Amino acid sequence: MVVFTVMIVNKAGSLLFDKDYADIPKLPANEKIMLASTFHGLSAIAGQLSPGMDNSGIQILEADTFKLNSFMPATGMNFIVVSDPGQTGLDQLLRKTYSLYADYVLKNPFYSLDMPIRCELFETNLKELVESVDRGHWRGSSS
């Protein structure tokens, strides 16, 4: 099981962070930006069409070759993971990614909101988290 990519999209649909963690064909930056903003728009429409109380939009998109999981906290940010279709524990991975974002990005005095995320501590901790998921050592604990 493999996590392919982690992306963070702001509430306006701009791609703030993306990192590939597997040996997959690389998309040009403009295509990644276009894909992230398109997903954001489709997710927003799905959230408005949803008859239930949960209007967080698309949460899981499954295909033959990949699975996309999305987590949208109350802040409107969208945390997205693209993985192998058999990968499990992605909801916990997304919530832990949000926690890392809050701890290392938002508390960084040099970071400006809605700007691309360039924070070494965040990237290092996220890489360790993704590697633990890939190795199967992930238990979803909130430590």
CA angle 98, 113, 60 (to 5 degrees): 35
Q: Is 67 helix (H, G, I), strand (E, B) or coil?
A: strand
Stretch 33-46: mean pLDDT: 90
The Cα 72–Cα 125 span in angstroms is: 20
What is the per-residue pLDDT for 88? Answer: 84
pTM here is: 0.88
Average pLDDT, the chain: 88
**pLDDT, tens digit, 9 for 90 and up, residues 25-39:** 888 999 999 999 999
Q: Would you say residue 139 has pLDDT above 60?
A: no
Per mean pLDDT, which range of 11-25, 35-49, 51-65, 66-80 is the poorest?
51-65
